[in-house]
Structure 1
Amino acid sequence: DGGQNEAPIIQGEMVSDLLHHLDTHKSMGPDRIHPRVLRELAEVFTKTLSIIHQQSWLTGEVPVDWRLGNVMPINKKGWKKDLGNYRPVSLTSVPGKAIEQIILGAITQHVQD
């Protein structure tokens, strides 16, 4: 089948690169892990997150905390007392967003190949 069903190998370099480029001005999710912590301690977290990401890919499951989100109403424009002027924004786990980026990259690469 040409390797189409093979899981991509989540390499430490991929995870490390993502961690080193996290925007430290973004908010933390419900797991309360701030992007600055992951960025500053990237060398400490890279191997563990690589293993978790690889297992998530293979099993199709992600840690429960990575699936949670804090939904905040954000005013788009206009009168703040008009509820129609708000949009929901979900603050999700930073490690969860990292695996989303890795999966997106793997899918994009697969489609391009």
Structure 2
Amino acid sequence: MAIRQIKNGKAAGPNNIPAEALKSDIKATTNILYLLFKKIWEEGQVPMDWKEGHLVKIPKKGDLSKCEHYRGITLLSIPGKVFNRVLLNRTKDAVDAQLRDQQAGLRKDRSYSRTALTFVLEFLTLILVGSCFEFHMFLK
């Protein structure tokens, strides 16, 4: 599943392995990556090229002689991305179960703005109804 979740047509990272190469024979790739991931898990060491990235400048509109008219992207190892996806898929549900519903940041199908809107609506409802209440809001 993690291999299929990696997007095609993206530039390969430092090891020059594109997503399409891993997807060309999913069964063989899965068997090879399983052995590699098992070794990584047991030894606690990931390959060095998975820790590296190639920084590439992508031009935006405007005067290309100015730095602010570029954005940078980092090309990472595709097998490393698959490994990260496996870890995410296996831990996401357990982590989500430990988080409060109000914790919205960096969670799928949730947003801070929606949480803030819900808070404001509940706050206004309490004011309009005339209830007496106490609230605490912590902002960074």
Give TM-score, length-normalised by structure 1: 0.73
Q: Aligned equivalents of 2:45 and 2:76: distance in 1?
A: 16
Percent of residue pairs bearing the same amino acid type: 28
| Alignment coverage as a number of residue pairs | 97
Higher RCO, Cα 8 Å, sep 6+: 1
**Aligned residue number for residue 70 of structure 1:** 54
Query: 1:34-113 to 2 correspondence within 5 Å?
Result: 34-113=18-97
Q: Which amino acid aligns with 1:89?
A: I
Structure number, greater radius of gyration: 2
User: For residue 39 of structure 1, what is the amino acid of its counterpart?
Assistant: K
Q: Which runs of 5+ in 2 are unaligned?
A: 98-140
Distance in 1 between the 2:37 and 2:62 partners?
41
Structure 2 residue 12 is matched with structure 1 residue 28 = yes
The separation in 2 between residues aligned to 1:78 and 1:104, in whole angstroms, is 38
Q: Which amino acid aligns with 2:85?
A: Q
Give the TM-score taking structure 2 as reference length.
0.60
- 1:77 to partner: Cα distance: 3.3
Q: Is the 8 A contact 2:6 2:81 kept in 1?
A: no
Name the stretch that deviates more: 69-78 or 94-103: 69-78
Deviation at 1:43, TM superposition (A): 1.5
Change (3 A) 1:51 1:109: farther
Asked if 2 retains the 8 angstrom alpha-carbon contact of 1:22 and 1:36, the reply is no
RMSD across aligned positions (CA)? 1.8
Q: Runs (4+) of structure 1 moved beyond 6 Å?
A: none
Task: Give the alignment of 1:9-20 within 5 angstroms.
Answer: 17-20=1-4
